[in-house]
Structure 1
Amino acid sequence: MKALQKSNYSDYRVSDAFNEIIIKSITSYDGKRSAQLKSFFLDLQTGGCVSGMISEFIYHADCKEFYIEHIDDLENMRTELEEAIGEPIENRFSAPHYTFVCWLCFEEYCYDLYSRLFE
């Protein structure tokens, strides 16, 4: 899906994994691809990964496996984001670090795409 290549983070290899998750996740939404994508992004902005809407990031064990596989990209994205806002990002759900970073990076990735495609 060409629209997913417009992310600020597309230089990171983890973006391919994030795109696969997005493509799989939007199939349950009605409408054309762009409508499905917009609805998915809006739901994610409302509930976040903590809501359980991203099946790949429900269980800590799955997050840990994903984190280990993509650790450099995820930590670099987190650092880049913290530098952009000028302060550390709080793990407000007290999730394990690897779960927190997976959620943070996926949500930021999706928000970046949403703002580029729909705002």
Structure 2
Amino acid sequence: MTTATEQSRLITVLDDIIQNDPHSMKAHIAQIIMDHDAPENYLSNILNYGCVCGCVPEMIYYSDTHAFYDQYYYEIEELRQSFEEEIGCAIEVQYDLKNFFAWFAFEHTAYQIANEAELDF
């Protein structure tokens, strides 16, 4: 359960992301989170259950995840490379490559946003 201060902090972080780099993948994800009635609950669902559970309507169908992957390919690749360097090995792709990395990027970015807002889910 988040407090009013945490909710306010999340809204501020989301707004800052959207304003500072409006065409980035991170801003796109921040806007999706911001568009929900309870952004903190929505973000919590993403972090706890992932895109695989269907909690992100924009990331359910291959047509959507493939379009997301294609649109943000370079940003996703930067995330992938950074993550692989951090863990010391290559990510093992499961099933559809574009879908896998679209979900990976969405979830990883949601985690970064939660960290920036200093939320603990």
TM over 0.5: yes
Deviation for aligned residue 1:89: 2.2
Q: Corresponding residue for 1:33? A: none
Deviation for aligned residue 1:13: 1.8
Seq. identity, % = 25
Taking structure 2 as the reference length, the TM-score comes to: 0.74
Contact 2:65/2:102 (8 A) holds in 1: yes
RMSD value, Cα: 2.2
Cα deviations by residue, 1:67-114 (Å, 9 ceiling, x for unpaired): 1111111111111111122122233xx331111111101101111121
Q: Corresponding residue for 2:109? A: 109
Q: Corresponding residue for 1:17? A: 28
Poorly superposed stretches of 4+, deviation over 4 Å: none
Taking structure 1 as the reference length, the TM-score comes to: 0.75
Deviation for aligned residue 1:49: 0.2
Q: Corresponding residue for 2:60? A: 58
Deviation for aligned residue 1:115: 2.4
Structure 1 residue ranges without an equivalent (≥5): 28-35
Looking at structure 2, the residues matched to 20 and 68 of structure 1 have their Cα atoms a distance apart, in angstroms, of: 19
5 Å-filtered alignment, 1:1-119, equals 1-4=11-14, 5=16, 13-24=24-35, 26-27=36-37, 36-91=38-93, 94-117=94-117, 118-119=119-120
Structure 2 residue ranges without an equivalent (≥5): 1-10
